[in-house]
Amino acid sequence: MSEEQQVPFTSQQDMNQQDDTKTGDPETINVKVVSSSGDEVFFKIKRTTQLRKLLGAYANKVGKDVNTIRFLYDGTRISETDTPHSLEMEDNDTIDVMVEQVGGYSS
């Protein structure tokens, strides 16, 4: 259940250079977004692009409202203004997606 996805906002130039990125363009990294049920979606993203765009693209893809899901990197919530650069993300790193948790009693 995994598929490769070009983030729609990466510039045309980047898409043309897809082969270069495969061989390790330092400006772009591959990010794996893993849902709570284990489904994976792959994105290619510039290090300086705000992750907000990736999160929006993911939510769009899985058909969920971006405000109802939580994106975590190393267990910490990603904020809208974070970039792969600001989070010091590395190539092939994982972003976890979690849904709302509620609790009151053990069933």
Contacts to another protein by CB under 8 A: 36-37, 67, 70, 72-77, 79, 96, 98-107
| Contact assessment for residue 45 and residue 63, using Cβ atoms and an 8 Å cutoff | no
Residue 6 or 52: which CB sits closer to another protein?
A: 52
Distance CA 75, CA 86 (A): 16
User: Given the complex with another protein, which of 16 and 101 has the nearer CB atom?
Assistant: 101
- Of 47 and 87, the one with the shorter C-beta distance to another protein is 87
With respect to another protein, which residue has the nearer C-beta, 27 or 74?
74
Minimum Å gap between C-beta 11 and another protein is 30
Identify the three-state secondary structure at position 105: coil
CB of 73 to another protein, least distance (A): 7
User: Least distance from C-beta 106 to another protein, angstroms?
Assistant: 4
Q: How far is the CB of 67 from another protein (least distance, A)?
A: 7
Residue type, 25: D
Instruction: Using alpha carbons, list the distances in angstroms from residue 61 to 18, 38, 54, 66, 75.
Output: 21, 15, 10, 11, 23
- Beta bridge mates, 2: 40
